[in-house]
Amino acid sequence: MTSPVQVLVIGFDEPQFSGEALAELARLKDAGIVQLVDLLVVERTAGGELQTLPSPGVLGPGAGDIAVALLAESSEQPASPTRGDVNGFWSLAEAIPAGSMAVVALIEHLWAEPLAASVRKAGGRALEETWLALDDLDRLTQLRSDR
Protein backbone atom coordinates (compact mmCIF):
# COMPACT_ATOMS: atom_id res chain seq x y z
CA MET A 1 0.00 0.00 0.00
CA THR A 2 1.65 3.22 -1.11
CA SER A 3 -1.26 5.63 -1.44
CA PRO A 4 -1.85 8.12 1.39
CA VAL A 5 -4.25 6.76 4.00
CA GLN A 6 -6.52 9.13 5.90
CA VAL A 7 -7.80 8.41 9.38
CA LEU A 8 -11.26 9.90 9.60
CA VAL A 9 -12.85 9.95 13.05
CA ILE A 10 -16.52 10.94 13.03
CA GLY A 11 -18.52 11.36 16.20
CA PHE A 12 -22.13 10.29 16.52
CA ASP A 13 -24.76 10.49 19.21
CA GLU A 14 -26.49 7.41 17.82
CA PRO A 15 -24.96 6.07 14.58
CA GLN A 16 -27.52 5.07 11.97
CA PHE A 17 -25.88 2.74 9.48
CA SER A 18 -28.13 3.05 6.47
CA GLY A 19 -25.37 1.89 4.14
CA GLU A 20 -25.51 5.12 2.18
CA ALA A 21 -21.97 6.20 3.04
CA LEU A 22 -20.60 2.73 2.36
CA ALA A 23 -22.36 2.69 -1.02
CA GLU A 24 -20.70 5.99 -1.88
CA LEU A 25 -17.33 4.61 -0.83
CA ALA A 26 -17.93 1.56 -3.02
CA ARG A 27 -18.68 3.86 -5.95
CA LEU A 28 -15.47 5.80 -5.30
CA LYS A 29 -13.50 2.56 -5.09
CA ASP A 30 -14.90 1.43 -8.45
CA ALA A 31 -13.80 4.76 -9.86
CA GLY A 32 -10.28 4.23 -8.49
CA ILE A 33 -10.54 7.29 -6.26
CA VAL A 34 -10.58 6.00 -2.69
CA GLN A 35 -10.75 2.66 -0.95
CA LEU A 36 -12.11 1.95 2.51
CA VAL A 37 -9.31 -0.03 4.14
CA ASP A 38 -11.15 -0.65 7.39
CA LEU A 39 -13.82 0.75 9.63
CA LEU A 40 -14.10 0.61 13.38
CA VAL A 41 -16.90 1.66 15.68
CA VAL A 42 -15.82 2.70 19.16
CA GLU A 43 -17.46 4.01 22.27
CA ARG A 44 -15.71 6.06 24.91
CA THR A 45 -17.29 5.63 28.28
CA ALA A 46 -17.87 8.45 30.73
CA GLY A 47 -14.86 7.12 32.59
CA GLY A 48 -12.71 7.57 29.49
CA GLU A 49 -12.28 3.93 28.55
CA LEU A 50 -12.48 3.04 24.86
CA GLN A 51 -14.49 0.01 23.83
CA THR A 52 -14.89 -1.41 20.36
CA LEU A 53 -18.44 -2.00 19.15
CA PRO A 54 -19.61 -4.38 16.42
CA SER A 55 -18.93 -3.00 12.94
CA PRO A 56 -21.76 -2.80 10.40
CA GLY A 57 -22.56 -6.31 9.22
CA VAL A 58 -22.23 -5.36 5.57
CA LEU A 59 -18.46 -5.09 6.04
CA GLY A 60 -18.20 -8.79 6.77
CA PRO A 61 -16.21 -10.71 9.36
CA GLY A 62 -12.93 -9.24 10.53
CA ALA A 63 -14.06 -5.67 10.01
CA GLY A 64 -12.24 -3.36 12.39
CA ASP A 65 -9.35 -5.75 13.03
CA ILE A 66 -6.84 -3.79 10.97
CA ALA A 67 -7.90 -0.51 12.56
CA VAL A 68 -7.54 -1.96 16.03
CA ALA A 69 -4.10 -3.35 15.22
CA LEU A 70 -3.02 0.02 13.87
CA LEU A 71 -4.59 2.40 16.36
CA ALA A 72 -4.40 0.42 19.60
CA GLU A 73 -1.59 -0.92 21.71
CA SER A 74 -0.93 -4.60 21.22
CA SER A 75 -1.17 -6.79 24.27
CA GLU A 76 1.99 -8.51 23.02
CA GLN A 77 4.03 -5.34 22.95
CA PRO A 78 4.90 -2.96 25.76
CA ALA A 79 2.86 0.21 25.75
CA SER A 80 4.48 3.10 23.99
CA PRO A 81 5.36 6.04 26.22
CA THR A 82 2.69 8.68 26.53
CA ARG A 83 3.55 11.56 24.27
CA GLY A 84 0.33 13.48 24.63
CA ASP A 85 2.27 16.52 25.68
CA VAL A 86 4.30 16.46 22.51
CA ASN A 87 2.68 18.01 19.52
CA GLY A 88 2.82 16.03 16.34
CA PHE A 89 1.25 12.94 17.86
CA TRP A 90 -2.35 11.94 18.39
CA SER A 91 -4.45 9.05 19.57
CA LEU A 92 -8.08 8.05 19.64
CA ALA A 93 -8.17 9.03 23.31
CA GLU A 94 -7.55 12.66 22.37
CA ALA A 95 -9.90 12.58 19.41
CA ILE A 96 -13.00 11.03 20.96
CA PRO A 97 -14.66 12.82 23.90
CA ALA A 98 -15.66 10.78 26.92
CA GLY A 99 -19.26 9.61 26.85
CA SER A 100 -19.52 9.56 23.06
CA MET A 101 -19.39 7.22 20.11
CA ALA A 102 -17.32 7.43 16.94
CA VAL A 103 -16.71 5.72 13.65
CA VAL A 104 -13.06 5.46 12.65
CA ALA A 105 -12.46 4.97 8.95
CA LEU A 106 -9.14 4.23 7.28
CA ILE A 107 -9.50 5.63 3.78
CA GLU A 108 -6.82 5.06 1.17
CA HIS A 109 -6.68 7.89 -1.33
CA LEU A 110 -5.77 6.04 -4.49
CA TRP A 111 -5.89 9.21 -6.59
CA ALA A 112 -3.25 10.92 -4.44
CA GLU A 113 -0.43 8.40 -4.78
CA PRO A 114 0.97 9.74 -8.08
CA LEU A 115 0.68 13.30 -6.78
CA ALA A 116 2.40 12.53 -3.47
CA ALA A 117 5.12 10.60 -5.29
CA SER A 118 5.77 13.46 -7.70
CA VAL A 119 5.96 15.95 -4.81
CA ARG A 120 8.49 13.75 -3.02
CA LYS A 121 10.45 13.26 -6.24
CA ALA A 122 10.61 17.02 -6.72
CA GLY A 123 11.99 17.40 -3.20
CA GLY A 124 8.87 19.08 -1.89
CA ARG A 125 7.84 18.87 1.74
CA ALA A 126 4.52 19.66 3.32
CA LEU A 127 4.48 22.86 5.32
CA GLU A 128 0.75 22.95 5.94
CA GLU A 129 -2.18 20.76 5.06
CA THR A 130 -5.71 21.40 6.11
CA TRP A 131 -9.26 21.70 4.85
CA LEU A 132 -11.07 24.98 4.30
CA ALA A 133 -13.67 25.87 6.92
CA LEU A 134 -17.26 26.41 5.81
CA ASP A 135 -16.93 30.21 5.88
CA ASP A 136 -13.85 30.06 3.71
CA LEU A 137 -15.57 27.59 1.40
CA ASP A 138 -18.38 30.12 0.94
CA ARG A 139 -15.81 32.79 0.20
CA LEU A 140 -14.09 30.51 -2.30
CA THR A 141 -17.39 29.81 -4.00
CA GLN A 142 -17.99 33.54 -4.28
CA LEU A 143 -14.51 34.15 -5.65
CA ARG A 144 -14.97 31.45 -8.27
CA SER A 145 -18.34 32.79 -9.33
CA ASP A 146 -16.84 36.28 -9.69
CA ARG A 147 -14.22 35.13 -12.16
Partner 1 sequence: MRLAPRQLQRSGMTGNVPYYGGRLAPAQAYAVGHTPPQPPQPPQPAESAEPPSRLATPANPQQTMTSLRQLRDDGLLSETEFTDLAARLST
Note the residues at the interface with partner 1 (CB under 8 A): 4, 6-7, 42, 49-52, 68, 70-73, 79-80, 82-84, 86-93, 109, 112, 115-116, 119-120, 124-129
- Alpha-carbon dihedral of residues 73, 79, 84, 90, nearest 10 degrees? -20
Shorter beta-carbon distance to partner 1: residue 81 or 147: 81
54-to-39, 43, 99, 105 alpha-carbon distances in Å = 10, 10, 17, 14
Shorter beta-carbon distance to partner 1: residue 73 or 138: 73
As measured in angstroms, the least distance from the Cβ of 68 to partner 1 is 6
- DSSP state, 42? E
- DSSP state, 57? G
As measured in angstroms, the least distance from the Cβ of 8 to partner 1 is 13
As measured in angstroms, the least distance from the Cβ of 9 to partner 1 is 11
Query: How many beta carbons lie within 10 A of that of residue 91, not counting itself?
Result: 15
Shorter beta-carbon distance to partner 1: residue 83 or 139: 83
Shorter beta-carbon distance to partner 1: residue 12 or 19: 12
Q: How far apart are CA 23 and CA 41, in angstroms?
A: 18
